Structure 1
Amino acid sequence: MAESSDEQAAMQHYLVCGTEDCQKNGQFYCNACHQPLCEQCRNEHQKSPSAKNHEIVLYRHRKHQLPVEICQDHPKRNVDMFCRECKTPLCSKCSTMKEHRGHEFDDLEDIYAEKYTLWQGEFSKIQKYFLPTSNDLKTDIEEDVTQIKKIMESIRASMKVEAECLKNLVDEVTSENIQHTHTMEKSLLEMLKSQETTYDDYIAYLWKMSDNFQEYFSITNQKLLFQSKTLKIQPVPETTKPVPPVCIAGQFNRDDVTKLLSRVNVPNTKPEKRKIQPMEAVTTHMKPTDKQLEQSTDKSGVKQTLSLSSSVTKVRELSVPGVDNAHHVSVDTSGRFWVSNSSGNLVQTDLQGNPLQKIQTSSTYRGYHTATQDRDLIYTDRDKIYRISPDQQITEFIKIGDCKPFSVHSSRINGDILVGMLGKVTRYNQAGKEIQNIQSNIKGEKLYSYPCYITENINRDICTSDWGENAVVVVNNSGQHRFFYTGQGSSFKPFGICTDVLGHILVCDDVSKSVHLLDQDGGFLSIILSIQQGIHSPRGLCVDDENNLYVGQYGTNTVTVHKYLQ
């Protein structure tokens, strides 16, 4: 079936060489002529006598052309000069006026390019150092909050235990004191009981004596009365009154109790400043930039370069048994990769096409698995995220909840897990804790509908293919919206997405049946794969550590591997 004119146009390299009738990839740029050049035209351009002094650079390092501004005093001329003395931009005719006579002028385009590069550098610092560093410090504070809460809870628990111990001691001493009162009471009562017995005996004695006296009073023979001894009454026994115990009140107050118990105090120690890594230390450990890659040197001193090839070469083609459509591809670091289809089949194979593992999931979404730097595989199934170790141990990693995940990506920078869900993107740390939720821009406008494929760029941008928005949606590491990419034709349907070591964004388009190549700012560079290269319905994309591009397609279990960098 013949392709429509729109589809044919969409499959062309839109960033083409600026030379007339040349349709090759314009990966270079002449700063003097302000036009892209292919490799062949660049060589010819440099040989031209009229262009021998022109500066030609890689397209992504181009000098940005001065925006056109019409001179207010001379409407037929553009503002292209800068007066040093007056500190004002003007056109070439303005420079001949008497008020500027004898003044020195600069090329406004050079100033613009210099300022653009300067501000671009400052913007890069924000993205690569200031924002990540601030987020790290914020995370550090959050960890301190958790730690302080744990410490204070431990102190409170210790105080309660100590107070309970003191209460127990008070109860114990009180119980002993009360028991002592019982003992004292018993002793005193026994003494009083003894005294009571003494008087009982004495009273009995008195009654006996009384009876004797009565007997003598009744004797008729008075002689007997006179002859009897005189009865003498024994004295009343003496006893002592008991000395009642006295309760001596305890001598204590609130301060005494406070001294007995522990209390919280802040040590008289100067707070330690949070460590902020110097910018130089951070940028040294970042992934290499384009310029660093191009200027890297091997041990022999030979300059190594890495850039786009003038053509794309297919180096391998593999059939993956167990899947009918290669909707998504994840390559791990061991020369093995995973392929899935829309029926939940997830198959691992080696580079020779030999199947190694197969997992049946219930996921019908697209980009639902990702390989980590540790060679683990992370994949979604219903409302959960699982991790498979190299020894095939499967563990539940994250439970999402009500919102089912569409896509997942493991960061090659810090190991964070990025998950695309209905209307949002959520970031989890390696422990599975949610640390970021992105839904809208600074105006409150929604960013996502169905982020079905997700990846991360070398500058930590989060890039998603969103079916509902029909766009590639890119936000920075802080979740601030950077740009939308909506294709090159009248319609665009993005599928698989990935990034490479140069910061390029690669994305499948189901409308043009091709793979688009973008720079990290969303600028369209070229279509690197299309029907001409045997690509009919690209779905899954992934780049391995050797810069090979893996492409899975709809309607086939074939995965092709391509070289596009040199």
Structure 2
Amino acid sequence: MHSQHSAQDVLLCGFCKTAPVQSHCELCHINLCKACVGEHLSDSSKRHNVVPYTHRKSTLLYQNCPDHADKHCELYCDICDVPVCSSCVSDKHEGHKLSDVMKKLNSKTEDLQNDLEELETRIYPRYEKIISDVQTERAKLETGYGELTTAVAQQGEVWHTEITAIVNQRKSDIKDMKNKHLEDLTKHTDEITRNITELKKIIQDLKTILESNDVSLTATYTSRNDEFRKPPPKIQITLPSLFPQKIKKDHLNQLFGSALSITTEDGYIMQTPEAASSLPVELPFDEPQLTATIHTGFRSSVACRSDEEIWTCGSDKFMKLHNLQGKLLVSIQTKSRKQPGDIAVTRDGDLVYSDPKTRTVNVVKDKQIQTMLRLQGWTPHYVCSTSSNDLLVTMINDDKTQSKVVRYSDSTETQTIQFDDHGCPLYSSDVYKYISENRNLDICVADFMAKAVVVVNQSGKLRFRYTGHPSYTKKSFEPFGITTDSQSQILTADYYNGYIDILDQDGQFLRFIDNCDLRDPHGLCVDTRDNLFVAERWSGKVKKIQYR
């Protein structure tokens, strides 16, 4: 055997450091050779219990008392939460509740084991799953952006040389967006990786404490599990979409179309680059044309199920589905047999309606009504389904002094929009507030009592208020219905003046629709081709208007 290795294999006396060990003092926790036993026992200031080394017991390494050097801390003061020796009891801890340090050690050890189990079986695997999900999203992102770039290139080939400049610009926008998204994913990955590294260290430290039998390490341990039980929110990527329009030479840039966004769960929001989300648009103002009139009976809200079918509701208990020829296809009675507050159609084609009487929001699947939400202290009124299939609901409290907009994802409240940056209410306390989500993810509310269209961004921060065009010569601006189209234009029904106001996504007035003999326009919606449907409040008609 190598000399260095043989020296390491011999256990030496802890007193003289030279002779091999033969005995062990269980009270002093020291190994002794035969020659040093007598000298060790000669120290009468301490108690000793010397046994053959092979007969030694596995004993705890009691902490030395900081106030009494010759004592070990074999007790634990539950009042002061510190280990103490027998001398400390009559000194600083007289009358305190004491327990055996072994009992406290067992309790602490159990806590350590529970923490270790939770870290190894639940918390750490969850973080590993997040990393896996992020990598999956990264792969989807690479594929999706590749497909999008191909689509842009194909669109450019159709438009030949006149569109080349626009194609290059869009590719640059997509590249910038992709790099931004990858950067955000990388930051998210780095954060999770740092947490995993820290978790590994905590796990290793816990194992070291559990294996050491060192009372001081156990007594001073503080759990950090609370820091990691709830991991950072999962990132959900919404890939950009392209909305090509019919080619007109003078409006190629406007007709190319683009909508870019990225969102996450649990309120974590990643903004899109300004260059990608605010593309300049030059609008062709064609004269609006009335293309169809659908007789549906007394109606106040309208929602497109498809380009050929519309849902409507009014002051009775029925919600009706008509085709564009006015034929009644389906009639659904509300569960409460009372008037619905408002209707919307989800991305899956299901009808959603609010019921102020029962304070519920319901979904109709295969003609069967299922309750999605049931509120307390608040009454739901107007609803809309978002691009991410969330639900936005306007509501008012019981004493009719407050109103707010709440976002729900799978019946779970994920966002509340009620106040601006100065703590002032964004909305009036009136019931009438039609709502719509724009293509840039802004949330648009037609606040009738406030005589304003109130627009906030996806974070709930106020962007602007529109209070009507200065050229109004009739009654004041009082909006009811509201909707948005593929170009992020905002359309709102000016009920008393009989107009439809069209704004751009930044609140700039573009024009009126005032030539289609509209009477008391109320609910609005647009189909996938940007045809506008207007529900007239008292005539029982829904009018289809081609305005672009």
Normalising by structure 1, report the TM-score: 0.47
Higher relative contact order (CA 8 A, sep 6+): 1
Structure ID, larger Rg: 1
